[in-house]
Structure formats: structure tokens, C-alpha cells
Amino acid sequence: MNESQRAFLDELLATASPSGFETAGQRVWAAYVREFADDVSTDAYGNAVAVHEGDPDAPTIAFTGHADEIGFIVRDVLDDGFLRIARIGGSDRSVSKGQHVTIHADEPVQGVIGQTAIHLRDPTEDEYEEITAQFVDIGATDAAEARDHVEVGDPVTFTTDVEELVGGRIAARGIDNRAGTWAAAEGFRRAVAADVDATVYAVSTVQEEVGLQGARMVGVDLDDVDAFLTVDVTHATDNPDVDRERRGPVTLGDGPVVTRGSANHPVLVDRARAAATDADIDVQLQAAGTRTGTDADAFFTSCGGVPSLTIAIPNRYMHTPVEVIDLDDLDAVADLLAAIAAGAADPDEFVVNV
């Protein structure tokens, strides 16, 4: 990952993009891919699509990631100036109290999610309150002062920076899934640089965290796609507090994860594994017996059924403000996407022979 690629990743992670409020992040993504795409377009809800026009007789492949992150939304302004909030997506009530947050009003407003001091709590009654019972303190003394700065419906995200850890790893909020949109854009750039025969789309969808909504929109619009390669994060289960019953084979630093089962098309799985072998990319395998929980679940039924595959980035502490990934894993995902596109020769090659 060179300096400009890393700067792009950092800018994506620094730009708040809660579900339903992805515009600022989508502008960052679109500006990057516009430098090497034949065309970049957006739809009414902000899904962004870049295209490299290839040989008309070669396959058409889409690299996708979702732009949105989890967060909160202001649902009420109380008389004493505090704010009640609700979830955007799967926000974790066990990590929210005592955190700095930013309310994305007309101008950003800083606040904290209140946590009563340990000295004033009965430790025998400690519990994780529901998000709707928690509150944000912006320093206002009454409702009128608070409403001068925020209003109901403003989105809220944790206030965190990208932090460097040892060994080429980083921690940040929103890695789920700006890392995926980075990989889709970078895989696309590498495919363009290799002048692959395939027509390649790079797609950054909205509102995945609230029901795969953007993928449903895009899946209908891109009716010429022969295969969707969806990049998202998956649980790295190598930290010590994961129960043995929940431990999977996914380890940080051991490479991209190819998902098998459910929406993941078996021929496309084989193609991905073969491309990884040819490109000397180590991959891990993960099972999805029922659903992937990613945009692939929406893409694969689009337009009568399009071969789809989830390629995942190992991620520790998902849906917290301190998600952790290994940059080598992320870079390898982009390489794998480009390798799959480079090896695609026939639009019918992803079809199951029955």
C-alpha cells in the first residue's frame, strides 16, 4: 500500500458515513475512482458506481463494498438540554457509554454519551442500558440552547481517529466497511492498470447496515453483470475473549477470507481460490450455511440470480469504536479482486453445470 492509497484509506475512515447519511464519504470515494474510471455515476440515494469498459465479449464483473457505518441518531431534545438517541444499524450498547461523539448537524457538534461515575453507582446494579435509555451531553443547559446547535434526526458517530498499532495494523471506527469500499476501489484501479479484458464495475453502496438497501437498488440497475464480488469485514476470532464455541478459523494477518455456502456461488468460489493460488495470495475459508450478512445476500438474487461471492477482511472487535485490521490483509483483498478479473475470459464461466 503506497502513500496515496493509504491517504485514501485514512480519508475514508475519517469521514463519517452513518447509514442514510453517506454523502460526504461517497464524495471521497467517487473522487478517487474518477481518476482512472471511464465513467462514475450515482443514483438518487447516493450509491456510487465506477466502470472500466472492457472487451464486449469478455465477462462483466462488479467489485462492491458498502459505504455506511453504524451510529446513532438524535431522537429527542430534553428540557435540561440532554439528547436522547436511537441506533443506526447494530450499535453496541455495551461500548457506547463514556465515549466522545460527534453530532453531524449543520455544523459538527461535540458531545459525550454520559456515564455516571463509579463512585455514584451501585455496582450490584451495573448493567448495559439500552441505547434508547442513554443520553448525549453537549454541554447545553436547557432545550433551547441545545436546539440552537442540533435537531431531531441529526446523525451521531463516535469521535475517533485512525490509530497505528504495531505490526502494520490499525484501529478505527467504521472499518466496517470503509475498508471494503477501499478494496473495491483499489481492486478496480489495479484491474484497470492491468488492462484486463473484462468490463469491471467498482460499487460503493449505501444503507447496508439497515437492510442491504443500496445493494438491492444497484443489483437491479446493473443488469449486465456476470458476477458480483462483495467485499466486507468478517470476525477475526483470534482474540482471547472469544468463546471456544464461537471460534472460527479466521485469523488476523492470514489473508483474505473466501466465504463458502449460502449466496456464495460455488464456481465463483473455485475461481477465486484458483486466482489466489496463481497470484500467490494466501486465503482463508469461512462457512456461511444460511446467509452471509453482507450485500451478497441482495446481489445474488438480482436480475434472476447473479453469481456472487463475499470476500472478507478479517476484523477484530466489529461494531465498536476500535475495530482492528491488518493492512496486509486489506492490500491482498485488492490484489485478489484484480487477479479474479484478470483471469475472467468467458461470460458463461461462472454458470453451474447441471
Q: Which residues are catalytic?
A: 208
Q: Going by C-beta distance under 8 Å and a sequence separation of 6 or more, which residues neighbour residue 51?
A: 37, 38, 39, 40, 199, 200, 201, 202
The span from the CA of 137 to the CA of 141, in Å, is 10
- Going across the sheet that includes 169-172, the strands are 163-164, 169-172, 323-326
Taken in order 129, 175, 333, 344, the sign of the CA dihedral is positive
* Residue 176 labelled as part of a binding site: yes
Q: How far is CA 296 from CA 84, 230, 290, 352, in A?
A: 34, 6, 12, 18
| End-to-end Cα, the chain, rounded Å | 42
Q: Is residue 235 part of an annotated ligand binding site?
A: no
**3-state secondary structure (DSSP) of residue 87:** strand
> What number of other Cβ atoms are within 10 A of residue 77's Cβ?
23
Grid coordinates belonging to 287: 462457512
Alpha-carbon distance 15 to 22, whole Å?
Answer: 9
Question: At residue 6, what are phi and psi to the nearest 5 degrees?
Answer: -70, -40
Pair 66, 232: CB distance under 8 Å = yes
Q: Which has the closest alpha carbon to 178: 43, 328, 69, 259?
A: 69
Give the integer Cα–Cα distance in Å for 164 and 37.
31
Rg of the chain in Å (alpha carbons): 21
How is residue 313 annotated by DSSP? E
Q: Is 52 annotated as a binding residue?
A: no
* Amino acid at the residue 86: A
3-state secondary structure of 62: strand
The grid coordinates of residue 319 equal 461494531
Does 232 carry a binding-site annotation?
yes
- Which segments are annotated as binding site for Zn(2+)? 66, 176, 209, 232, 319
